[in-house]
Every structure is written in structure tokens, then in C-alpha cells.
Structure 1
Amino acid sequence: MSAVHLILRGPVAEVRLDNPAKLNALTVAMLAELSAHLDTVERRADVACVLLTAEGERAFCTGADITAWGDLTPAEFARVWVRDGHRIFDRLARLAKPTIAVLTGHAFGGGLELAAACDIRVMVPRASLALPEAGVGIVPGWSGTQRLLRLMPEPVVKEMALFGRRLSAERALGLGFVAEVADDARAVAEAMALRVAETSPRAVEVAKYMIHAGAGEDRAALIEALGSGMIAASPDKAEGVAAFRAKRKPEFRGE
């Protein structure tokens, strides 16, 4: 039975975590489903924005399900669980479409790291953020000590990761980690997504690439993507392809 759903509504795609009995804690199967859904929305030209949501009001996601990793060997934990999670979260962060995490409940551990991989976040007032991994003898493994540091001040990340303090919605808003705090966070996110749908998809995509390159998110690949996109629109590229197909020498004009 699927625990991560993809719902398509016009230009807005919703990727919904659906494991409320376990506070939407992530399992191996859920990570695989999330990855597959991201591949789907990336390839759909009709999707302008992606909402990442969760069932239930208690938690957006409380991280990784301990039963999914508790019995792994150290090598399996590092090579499979942590690296697979990183790969999938990086996939979310580098999605060409704008992404909004809708935090209708607490986001702890891997759940906070998942929200951090989205472009922006909206949050309900009662929700909080935390990195509680040290309490179960582990450390943040899905970018909580890396990507999160680009989005929050170092002392705040230390408060959560070292001292176990929770971050309130109000404080997260003041730090700029959350774009808006509202009782109906979903409605706010949907309105934002629909506004994105009224703009140029290509301009939004390239702007996201440029911002990420400046911030250091997959900079090398983004520089090549931007350069490749520019050259792909040139007459010289069209001439090179035509010449190859016709088995003749190309006549480049520098255009």
C-alpha cells in the first residue's frame, strides 16, 4: 500500500506523505516512492509548482522510522540508508520546478531536513522544528548539518542538534526559514503555487538554477546546465546537428 501519493491538480502537483499512524516517519519504501514521484513531476511540462504535504495535523514528518534503520549494520546505515536519503533529498532540492513544503505539524529530524530541501516553507503556528537525533544516539544524516546551515544561522542549528531545543514557528519565520505562518498553511501554499503558474515556466526554472548556483547547491552541474541551455538555442547548435545528420562539414557562423 502506497504511503506517498502524487496528486495532480492542473498546474499544481502535490506529493503527500501518508503514514500518520507513525507521524509520517519515513521508510525505505516511502523514500523510493518519493523519488519516483519527483521523477514524474520533473518530466511533466504541465506542472508549474510542487507542494510537499502530509496527512494528519500532529506531524508533517518526524524523520526516519527507527524500525527501518535500527537493525542495520554500520556499513549498511552509512552506505545505504544515509546515502539513499541524501540522494533523494538532493533530487528534491534540485528539482527544476519550484517546491513548497506545507508544515501542518511538527517537522523533526529527517522531516526537517526534507522541508529544508524545498524552496520555501509555510507553517502552522502550533508546529515546531527540531533535530532530536542525539537523543537516540545518532546524528543528522540527510543534510541537517549541511544544507540547513545555508538556511539558518549556525548557533540555531547547534541549539537543535546539540541541545535538543525546538524551534517555534514564530522564530522560524523571524529567521527567514519559513516564508509564512498561517492557520491554513495549505491554502497559503496553494495560492502561492497558482501565482507561480501565471509566470514564465522557463524564467522561473532558470532563476532557480541561478540562485542555487550562487548559494552553492550543486553549483558545477547548474553552471553546465545553464551554459548548455544557452548553447542549445543557438543557430550553431542547429547547424552542428544538421551537418552531423547530413554527414557534411558544419558551417558555423558564431550565432
Structure 2
Amino acid sequence: MSGAVHLDTQGGIATLRLDNPTKLNAFTPEMLAQLAAHCDTLDRDTAVRAVLLTSEGERAFCAGADIKAWAGYAPAEFARIWVRDGHRIFDRLARLSKPTIAVLQAHAFGGGLELASACDIRVIAPAATLALPESQVGIVPGWSGTQRIARLLPEPMLKEMALFGRRISAERALACGFVAEIADDPATTARAIAEKLLTTSPRATEVAKYMIHAGVGEDRDAMIEALGSGMIAASADKAEGVDAFAHKRKPVFPGT
């Protein structure tokens, strides 16, 4: 199948770019796998301070999932493979240790809106709209459209999209706080926002993201344990315990 997700890094800012413009940047299984692999790379790259999520073309940021990619699945396979894989990979993006910005230069529909929702903030073009049109092809949102988006949008607005098939304008998305800014050139605006991170503390930014995610329930258990583990890893007790283990002696913990 066609389509790819590219990863490029320049000056501490990484860019994930959806590249399937002939299909409105709709996701294929290969693209999902590439996104997951890139997320693993980004979390381990200490030089990266921020991540921009962009796409090719002017017609759509992302129209969701390529229907041809999932239409042949049996019902159980559709739920077990396609839906759960997509959910897991979008969760992986949401839980990156780096701040993420979705650049919505055009419409974000279905899985494309769910993808944008997995980023920390969003910048949108004036003419871009948001929609959850799954019911038009006989399915329901499956990559967090009724879960994560329910934490980001007012319930009536989410129902407008998921139940009634209405599109939400950039202005309404800004008014409810779903997008950070409306910009004629979303990519330039998003990069300017990301560049501000180059002068801040990487560790403070990472920990602040973990704290916020724990507060809103985004992978709360893992976030709490990551915060606690980070604290204990910097302690003299941890250093003593590791040294005692290495030298096969009884540890004497200083309690600091």
C-alpha cells in the first residue's frame, strides 16, 4: 500500500510528516507501524526538544484510516487488530516525553482528528474543519474519538460530530480551547511555538507533562510511577543500593 510517515530533525525540533496525499493522508497499516517506530526513536533522542506533526498536501491534514486497509477484516479482527493497534499507537504518541504540536493545515477527519488529539496542542488554518464522520461508513470512532477527545471537547460538541456528522470550524475549536491558535501559516506558527522550548529546561518540561497527564488521567498509573522513579533515581539511597549490590555487601542507606 502507498503512504509513509517520515521523521526529520533539525535544530532540536523533530517533524513527523504523514505522506499519503492522494488518499488525503489516510493511515495504512504500514504508516501506523512507522509512526510507532518513530515514537520509540524520539523518546530516546535527547537532542529533540519538541515534535511537530505535519502532513503533505493542502486538501487534508489526515482523513483518518484508509477504508481499503480495514474493509476486509472480519469483525473480531477489526476490533482486535485494526482498532486496538491504532489505539495503542496513538496512545504511544500521546505519551511521548517530548511536547508535541499538531499542524492542521487542512481538514482533520475521523482518525485524523484522533491523531491531532493525541498531541499536546494544535495549530489550525482558518479554513480547516474537524469532523468524526465514521457513522457515514457504518462504524464508530475507534482510535480514542469517544475517549480522549471527550476530555478535550465539550460533550455537546463531540456529539455534534459523532452523532450528527457536523463539522466544527476552526473558530469554534479555538473558542473551546481545543486548538491553541488559528494561523494562515500553521507550520510557521507551530515551529515558532516549538522554538521557545529550546531555551527552557528539558527535564522540567518533561516532568510537567507527566504531572499534567497524571492529573487528567492520561496513562495515570505509568505517569505516577515515572515521577516517583525519577525522584528515587536521583537519591543517595539509590546510589548506595546499586553500589552495595555490585560489591555484594549490605547497603547502609543514608535516607537522602
TM-score, L = length of structure 1: 0.99
Is the 2:240–2:251 Cα contact (8 Å) retained in structure 1?
A: yes
Superposed CA offset, 1:134-181 (max 9, x none): 000000000000000100011100000000000000110001000000
Task: State the distance in 2 between where 1:124 and 1:83 align.
Answer: 31
Give the RMSD, CA atoms, in angstroms. 0.7
- Equivalent position amino acid for 2:146 in 1: T
Task: State the distance in 2 between where 1:151 and 1:188 align.
Answer: 22
* Residue of structure 1 in register with 2:253 after alignment: 252
- Equivalent position amino acid for 1:143 in 2: S
Task: State the distance in 1 between where 2:54 and 2:88 align.
Answer: 20
Please say if 1:231 is aligned against 2:227: no
Matches for 1:64-213 after TM superposition, within 5 Å: 64-213=65-214
**Structure 2 counterpart SS, 1:15:** strand
Cα displacement (A) at 1:196:
1.0
Is the 2:124–2:186 Cα contact (8 Å) retained in structure 1?
A: yes
Superposed CA offset, 1:91-130 (max 9, x none): 0000000000000010000000000000000000010000
* Residue of structure 2 in register with 1:240 after alignment: 241
Superposed CA offset, 1:3-26 (max 9, x none): 110011010000000000000000
Task: State the distance in 1 between where 2:3 and 2:124 align.
Answer: 25
Task: State the distance in 1 between where 2:254 and 2:35 align.
Answer: 45
Superposed CA offset, 1:11-46 (max 9, x none): 000000000000000000000011111111110000
- Equivalent position amino acid for 2:101 in 1: I
- Equivalent position amino acid for 2:172 in 1: R
Cα displacement (A) at 1:53:
0.2
Task: State the distance in 2 between where 1:150 and 1:55 align.
Answer: 28
Cα displacement (A) at 1:253:
1.2
- Equivalent position amino acid for 2:234 in 1: A
Matches for 1:3-18 after TM superposition, within 5 Å: 3-18=4-19
Cα displacement (A) at 1:2:
6.0
- Equivalent position amino acid for 2:38 in 1: H
Task: State the distance in 2 between where 1:40 and 1:252 align.
Answer: 36
Cα displacement (A) at 1:218:
0.5
TM-score, L = length of structure 2: 0.99
Which of structure 1's runs of 4+ aligned residues deviate more than 4 A?
none
How many equivalent residue pairs?
255
